[in-house]
Structure 1
């Protein structure tokens, strides 16, 4: 299982200037390589290298850095073409798709630059790195990270690392290949119902209310609108300072919720059943005031956190079809749209049971998870006559 560990670099003044110059230079050259690729019909990486490698070397890039710039450009076009084939940029005549196809891909000055072990080495005990720059190789660049991140880096780091800059601060994002724990045989399943009012509700009674998170998002939305309306330099500066703050807050909240659910499942030797919510934004139709809430709801991120934490802990996890889980009675199985009286109340028209709507749905998801797990464990080989 591949995860990433992020460390914050603490360079000296000269080191920071060298890192900044390096990022600006490699991304400017990446834009040039992109123009060459676009003009030549985006050739394969080997052919693109023949047209650009000598120029990159003449501009002062090392051999490995030049290779990474070319590969970065080619990967960007591969991703663009994959999105075009999947229809993520709209129909062939849409303005967004035409704009994407009509010009070369451009790279931001602070865009990530990949480094391999020839360009970057780690000294874990001293918490320093040695890294290639346009000014030569600089050593003893300090970095800071959590104890867990340092242990993960020391034990499992493998492959390339990305150097990025955010608001004048440099980070290294390293790929770590962490082995998955062996999954145990579950003694039942915990159903997890994801929502907006309640971010997550489990069949064991845990409920992560979304009221505080939604209130925080509304406050941030109103503040952004107020600052954007002013259009002054100070307002733009404040907007830049507040950038990514909401994303970090939501991400931290999702980490806490996911860890709580996985820890409970591991403690009780249960598996986890999650809803398969892929494509929900295309299926759901909401009134305009509700669309901002839906599209800012990071349910995919929460689901991803639960998945990878479950793999690391060896907790079995299955995805189930969420259809009618909010309309089905977990006691008698009666399905009726009228069973869901409102957002939080469920009253079965068949047996009369009264329950919390999200809790009832989580029990249905748990039952479907057990059924999916059992079906996957059953042998489909015909019996020997």
Structure 2
């Protein structure tokens, strides 16, 4: 499985200036390639390389950085096509989709740039790197990371690393190919996880990870952004840039902590993890206007991704269950009715009288569906295995 290890670069003033100039030139080249791709309709890597390689080299880039700029642009258009096909920019004919399709992809002056081993070499024992810049090779650039990150880099680093400038700091995001351990059979069943807005995650064991503090931080950030945007002065814009990304980092840290607790509990009790398949939920959900901001700012996919990759690293199996009617179905008798849930937090079965916290009841239904899904998928795998030939 692929993991990304982030290390912080500690360049001196001259090296930092060279890195800034490198990112600026690389992204200017990528914008040129993007304009050619948009004008000609050519977005394949090889085709774009034939069209733009000479012009990109003439901007002052060496061969490998020039190729990476072209490939980065081709990858951006591939991602755009996938998002359009998935309806992430709205249906065909919508204003948002038309705006996206009407102009070429633009790269920021300091957008991330990939480097391969020809442009970037690691000296892991010395905690330094040597990296290509427009001003020449910058050698012995120190970096900082934890001992666990250093161990992962030494054992599993493979492929490209992205140079990132964020919040006044330099980072390298290194790709690592970590082997997956063998999946452990879920002898204890499945731990169901219900994802929600009022409660970020609720497990079938009754553990509730509330969203109260997260929503407080988000609301406070929203108020600060609104006030600074209305002000519109240079100092307010500087502060907006300074605080940008703070909320996203807080949400990511919260999701990491929740995912780690869930995976640790499943591993301790020899269970798998059953998650809701929430693909397309933003398009399906019908909410009142005050709830829409919370829905669209909540990182559904991120928490599920964190749980999935952390589970893979320790061999805990993960299955995705159909989320339909999990909040209306009784986990005791199976009776499904809208009236079973009189309010957000309460579940009371109108058939058997079973009562429970609504999210815990939903998580138990997801756990049960996980068991069924696991049994069905493994029955299909067993049926697909060839039967050994019998000796006559």
Output the TM-score relative to the length of structure 2.
Answer: 0.93
- The answer to whether the aligner puts 1:40 opposite 2:44 as a matched pair is no
CA-to-aligned-CA distance 1:24-54 (integer Å, 9 cap, x gap): 1111122122223333332643343333222
**2:266 matches 1:265:** yes
CA–CA distance in 2 between the matches of 1:159 and 1:138?
20
Partner of 1:298: 299
> Which deviates further from its counterpart, 78-87 or 19-28?
78-87
Report SS of the residue matched to 1:234. helix
What is the CA distance between 1:106 and its match in structure 2? 1.9
How many Å separate the matches in 1 of 2:91 and 2:276?
29
The aligned counterpart of 2:175 is: 175
Structure 2 CA distance for partners of 1:336 and 1:36, relative to 1, 3 Å: closer
Mapping for residues 1-385 of structure 1, pairs under 5 Å: 1-42=1-42, 44-187=44-187, 188-378=189-379, 379-380=382-383
Q: CA deviation at 1:205?
A: 2.7
2: distance between equivalents of 1:130 and 1:167?
Answer: 22
Which sits farther off after the overlay, 227-236 or 135-144? 227-236
Following TM superposition, by how much is the alpha carbon of 1:123 offset from its aligned partner in structure 2, in angstroms? 0.7
Query: CA 1:138/1:287 → structure 2, altered by over 3 Å: closer, same or farther?
Result: same
Distance 2:278 2:85 in 1: 22
CA distance in 2, matches of 1:156, 1:193: 34
1:372/1:39 CA distance change after superposition, 3 Å: closer
* More deviation, 30-39/337-346: 30-39
**1:42–1:77 CA contact under 8 A, matched in 2:** no
Q: CA deviation at 1:94?
A: 3.0
Distance 1:100 1:332, change over 3 A: closer
- Contact conserved, 2:43 with 2:77, CA < 8 A, in 1? no
Number of the residue aligned with 2:390: none
TM-score by length of 1: 0.95
- State whether residues 326 and 340 of structure 1, in contact with CA within 8 Å, keep that contact through their aligned partners in structure 2: yes
Aligned residues: 384
CA distance in 2, matches of 1:298, 1:380: 38
Q: CA RMSD in A?
A: 1.9
